[in-house]
Amino acid sequence: MEAALKAIAEPRRRQILVLVRDGEMTAGEIASHFEVTRPAISQHLTVLKEAGLVSERRDGTKRIYRFRPEGVEELRAFIEDMWTERLVTLKDEAEHEERRRRGAGPATGRR
């Protein structure tokens, strides 16, 4: 998750994602869309792959990269939790209070 966030924080990697989003592409084909050298793109692809945002498939000497929706799904879910968990916390507090009113409460919920 950390990795995915840092991956999309980089503009060029987002551009790469937009490229492969519409269909799979070879490394060279991706690199041809940019002004930087191929090794640079190769490194970006490694980062994206390890972040789970793209998948790699091999065909002979070619390497074909493909957008990986599940990776972005995790990311989206994480961002969503960023403020929905606020409601969860409020709910937890309400539950604790109710429990306390019943006299049960050592509150073992601490990590």
Which partner, DNA, a copy of itself, none, binds residue 45 by CB below 5 to 8 Å per kind? DNA
Residue type present at position 61: T
Rule CB under 8 A: say whether 65 interacts with a copy of itself. Answer: no
Cβ closest to DNA, residue 36 vs residue 90:
36
Rule CB under 8 A: say whether 99 interacts with a copy of itself. Answer: no
The nearest distance, CB 21 to a copy of itself, in angstroms, is 5
